[in-house]
């Protein structure tokens, strides 16, 4: 907490807050919006009653609940605790039961141009078959299943099949390395891994199964089987008995399957995310509360009309946004949605806009980093496509700068579609702070207002709520249905990380400011977590990866501001002398290339530092803590700030001199 990535008072962010443009909803949009201003009043008057109403209205319960909130074991809150339900039943079967089996659930487009259209009826049958198949592989209620898949329909089917039998899934993003996958499989003690031979990315087949093989070869796991989807058709190594082709067991399985009705508090999934220490945290979510808020927010914030909208969230299923706004929220609400497998510039930089035009996408949810990348490519690219179907745009993952917001509104939204800037986290499970598109006059760059039923405050160091015009730390002061229920296997870390900074209050780890109207502006992380292209990375985790290389004695990592990716990873390393240095090339550039590769192997390509600077010293306080603030100044080419707390104030000039010499 002493070392902040960006403080609520940093000057660059100060400029943002002078934004005065506002965009009220058009009367036509406001009139048809799913949620109106009364929702705030209703929730303020009776927050628990508000959530209970939504839980009943949006979900089917096999056993209705009577208890709304159980706070007897706080901060391990329980919601709707005496109710029973099934997440997969809510996401698919009940739409079929309601006569909507022919509605398209998924409009899937592979990067290679392959297309599939899957109705709710077909999806229900696929999920039931997959549930039968994974049960036959020995997976029971409560067992964990690791999922390491590309963005193909089987990914949705796999998650829902797990949910159907009450086996918590743990999705690992396909960009993570074998090592990262191994530690996640171990931590969750997964019994089954569901993967694919590979997926298509950047115009070619990118393998996945070898990483699973390598992860399992590291040993110690409880994995009995690996279920493999054939996507790219490449050669794969095969371990008989352990490995099973999806196409050998799923299509043959019965489409009859009785969902396992679970308690509302039954774990639905674990999802690992970076924290302030080297070890990723297994954030776990349960069933009833999570589904309630995923569905409510999807209905309220995206204003989904299931009969007419075509919704598209570009997030990968490996992140929380993919869980809540590709799988659970939209499907529970009966949406028709686009899922695209590949990268936005394959085979050309207009691929996304071509997809919007082709499917008539009406609601688009994406990340600021993607918007900034498209800005860089130039507006004539989207201008070449008909984007007039779009009626609402969303943003998530990091603060969106006003220029990017204005560009998104004008170039993609035709100055017509409202933008919802949605703040939330893996831990919150669903959107917490966002405009309501039919109610709020939006402001470029601000997430603005807690949703109905959510209570958020900006607190000062002492834990007091700040007034308008002041900054501090974002905190959530009342429990919410989709809140995390813990860190898998680490009760103590859960209490320490989120509930100790301000006792009894959830500490989000983000800096925030309230403007003169009381609207909330998110200012980035205040801890050792970086946000690169909307992906959370831990400075400590990357530092540990670097020092695990024999050449490295010490490493310090900072997140430096980056025009496109928001932040970029910049590492400073001190190399070892002695025996370890024996096989080290003299050329720093070669050393740097090796170390980047090493981080890619330890964590995944997303964690590779943009730059690694070889230095002879690191700036430290007298108590030995690395002063990342100063390193960030260097990484961002600023003059170095206050060095008076350094043990050796000469260090910074040494580092800067070192930078001057060619690396």
Binding site for ligand WTA (CB under 6 A): 273, 319-321, 396-399, 421-426, 447, 508-510, 522, 525, 531, 536
CB 473 within 8 Å of CB 458: yes
Based on CB atoms, which residue is closest to ligand WTA, 188 or 614? 188
Q: How far is the CB of 351 from ligand WTA (least distance, A)?
A: 24
Residue 541: name the closest of 186, 174, 187, 277 by CA.
277
- Residue 113 CB, shortest distance to ligand WTA, in Å, is 30
CB of 190 to ligand WTA, least distance (A): 21
Note whether 602 and 179 are within 8 A (CB): yes
Give the CA diameter of the chain: 74
| Minimum gap (Å) between residue 447 Cβ and ligand WTA | 5
Specify the residue, 396 or 603, whose C-beta has the smaller distance to ligand WTA: 396
Residue 25 DSSP code: P
Supply the minimum distance, in Å, between the C-beta of residue 345 and ligand WTA: 23
d(CA 347, CA 349): 7
C-alpha–C-alpha distance, residues 50 and 613, integer Å: 53
Please report how close the Cβ of residue 114 comes to ligand WTA at its closest, in angstroms: 29
Of the pair 340, 424, the CB lying nearest ligand WTA is at 424
Q: Which is nearer to ligand WTA, 75 or 399 (CB)?
A: 399
What's the rounded Cα separation, in Å, for the pair 507 and 516?
Answer: 23
In sequence order, what are the beta bridge partners of 574?
A: 554
- The nearest distance, CB 363 to ligand WTA, in angstroms, is 17
Q: Residue 556: which of 472, 662, 635, 641 has the closest Cα?
A: 635
**Would you say 77 or 423 has its CB closer to ligand WTA?**
423
Q: Is the Cβ of residue 215 or residue 420 nearer to ligand WTA in the bound state? A: 420
- 350-358: long-range contacts at Cβ-Cβ below 8 A with a sequence spacing of 24 or more? 350/381, 350/382, 350/384, 350/385, 352/314, 353/381, 353/382, 353/384, 353/385, 353/387, 354/385, 355/109, 355/312, 356/312, 356/385, 356/387, 356/389, 356/390, 357/385, 357/386, 357/387, 357/389
Least gap, CB of 144 to ligand WTA (angstroms): 20
CB of 521 to ligand WTA, least distance (A): 9
CA contacts within 13 A on the Cβ side of 177:
16
CB neighbour class for 7 (10 Å; exposed up to 12, middle 13-18, buried from 19): middle
Q: Which is nearer to ligand WTA, 50 or 424 (CB)?
A: 424
Q: How far is the CB of 283 from ligand WTA (least distance, A)?
A: 8
Closer by beta carbon to ligand WTA, 83 or else 472:
472
Decide whether 196 or 271 has the Cβ nearer to ligand WTA: 271
- Sequence-separated contacts (24+) of 476-480 with Cβ below 8 Å: 476/428, 476/432, 476/505, 476/506, 476/508, 477/505, 477/506, 478/47, 478/454, 479/69, 479/71, 479/74, 479/75, 479/77, 479/79, 480/51, 480/289, 480/293, 480/428, 480/432, 480/453, 480/454
Question: Own/partner pairs for 34-43, CB < 8 Å, 24+ apart?
Answer: 34/299, 34/300, 34/303, 34/304, 34/305, 34/438, 35/299, 35/300, 35/303, 35/436, 35/438, 35/439, 35/452, 36/438, 36/439, 37/436, 37/439, 39/300, 39/436, 39/452, 40/452, 42/452, 43/452, 43/453
* Residue with smaller CB distance to ligand WTA, 89 or 272: 272
Q: Which residues pair with 538 in a beta bridge?
A: 529
Of residues 259 and 566, the one with the C-beta less far from ligand WTA: 566
Q: Could you tell me which residues come within 8 angstroms of residue 427 by beta carbon, excluding any fewer than 6 positions away?
A: 273, 283, 483, 484, 498, 508
Nearer to ligand WTA, 101 or 318 (CB): 318
Residues comprising the chain, all counted: 663
Least distance between ligand WTA and beta carbon 398 (Å):
5
Closer residue to ligand WTA in complex, CB, 133/522: 522
Least separation in angstroms between residue 284's CB and ligand WTA is 14
Q: Which is nearer to ligand WTA, 13 or 134 (CB)?
A: 13
Minimum distance from residue 278 beta carbon to ligand WTA (Å)? 17
- The span from the CA of 592 to the CA of 597, in Å, is 9
In sequence order, the β-bridge partners of residue 511 are 473
Shortest Cβ distance from residue 320 to ligand WTA (Å)?
Answer: 5
Rounded to an integer, what distance in angstroms lies between the CA atom of residue 341 and that of residue 363? 18
Closer residue to ligand WTA (CB): 120 or 312: 312
Smallest distance, ligand WTA to C-beta of residue 367, A: 9
Scored b (16 or more CB within 10 A) or e, 423-441 reads bbbbbbbbbbbbbbbbbbe
Minimal CA–CA distance to 208: which of 188, 242, 232? 232
């Amino acid at each position: 907490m002493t070392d902040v990535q960006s403080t609520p008072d940093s000057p660059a962010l100060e400029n943002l807050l002078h934004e005065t443009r506002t965009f009220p909803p058009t009367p036509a949009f406001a009139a048809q919006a799913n949620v109106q201003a009364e929702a705030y009043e209703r929730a303020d008057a009776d927050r628990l009653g508000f959530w209970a109403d939504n839980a009943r209205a949006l979900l089917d319960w096999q056993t209705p609940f009577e208890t709304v909130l159980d706070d007897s074991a706080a901060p391990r809150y329980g919601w709707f605790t005496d109710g029973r339900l099934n997440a997969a039943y809510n996401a698919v079967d009940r739409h079929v039961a309601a006569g909507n089996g022919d509605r398209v659930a998924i409009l899937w487009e592979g990067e290679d141009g392959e297309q599939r259209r899957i109705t709710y009826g077909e999806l229900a049958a696929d999920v039931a078959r997959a549930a039968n198949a994974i049960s036959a592989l020995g997976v029971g209620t409560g067992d964990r299943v690791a999922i390491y898949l590309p963005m193909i329909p089987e990914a949705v089917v796999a998650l829902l099949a797990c949910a159907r039998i009450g086996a918590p899934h743990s999705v690992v993003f396909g960009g993570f390395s074998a090592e990262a996958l191994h530690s996640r499989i171990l931590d969750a003690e997964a019994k089954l891994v569901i993967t694919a031979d590979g997926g298509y990315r950047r115009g070619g087949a990118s393998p996945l199964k070898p990483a699973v093989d390598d992860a399992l070869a590291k040993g110690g796991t409880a994995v009995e089987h690996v279920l493999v989807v054939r996507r790219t058709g490449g050669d794969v190594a095969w371990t008989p008995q352990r490995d099973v082709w999806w196409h050998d067991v799923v299509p043959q399985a019965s489409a009859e399957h009785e969902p396992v009705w679970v308690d509302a508090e039954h774990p639905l999934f674990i999802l690992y995310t970076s924290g302030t220490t080297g070890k990723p945290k297994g954030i776990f979510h349960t069933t009833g509360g999570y589904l309630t808020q995923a569905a409510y927010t999807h209905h309220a914030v995206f204003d989904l009309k299931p009969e007419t909208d075509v919704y598209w969230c570009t997030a990968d299923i490996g992140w929380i946004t993919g869980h809540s706004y590709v799988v659970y929220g939209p499907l529970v609400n009966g949406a028709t949605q686009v899922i695209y497998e590949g990268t936005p510039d394959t085979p050309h930089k207009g691929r996304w806009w071509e997809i919007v035009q082709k499917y008539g996408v009406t609601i688009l949810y994406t990340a600021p980093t993607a918007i900034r990348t498209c800005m860089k490519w130039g507006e004539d690219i989207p201008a070449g496509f008909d984007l007039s179907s779009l009626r609402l745009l969303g943003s998530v993952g990091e603060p969106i700068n006003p220029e990017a917001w204005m560009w998104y509104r004008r170039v993609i939204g035709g100055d017509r579609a409202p933008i919802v800037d949605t703040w939330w986290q893996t831990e919150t499970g669903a959107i917490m702070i966002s405009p309501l598109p039919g109610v709020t006059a939006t402001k470029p760059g601000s997430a603005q207002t807690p949703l109905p039923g959510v209570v958020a405050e900006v607190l000062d160091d002492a834990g007091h709520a700040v007034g308008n015009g002041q900054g501090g730390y974002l905190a959530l002061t009342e429990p919410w249905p989709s809140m995390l229920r813990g860190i898998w296997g680490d009760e103590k870390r859960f209490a320490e990380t989120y509930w100790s900074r301000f006792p009894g209050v959830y500490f989000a780890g983000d800096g925030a400011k309230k403007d003169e109207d009381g609207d909330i502006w998110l200012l980035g992380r205040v801890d050792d977590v970086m946000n690169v292209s909307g992906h959370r990375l831990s400075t400590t985790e990357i530092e540990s990866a670097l020092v695990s290389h024999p050449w490295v004695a010490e490493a310090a990592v900072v997140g430096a501001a980056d025009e496109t990716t928001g932040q970029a990873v910049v590492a400073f390393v001190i190399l070892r002398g002695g025996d370890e240095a024996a096989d080290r090339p003299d050329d720093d550039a070669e050393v740097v290339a090796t170390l980047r590769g090493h981080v890619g192997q330890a964590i995944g390509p997303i964690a590779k530092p943009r730059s690694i600077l070889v230095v002879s010293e690191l700036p430290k306080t007298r108590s030995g803590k690395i002063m990342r603030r100063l390193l960030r100044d260097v990484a961002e080419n600023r003059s170095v700030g206050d060095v008076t707390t350094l043990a050796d104030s000469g260090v910074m000039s040494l580092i800067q001199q070192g930078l001057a010499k060619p690396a």
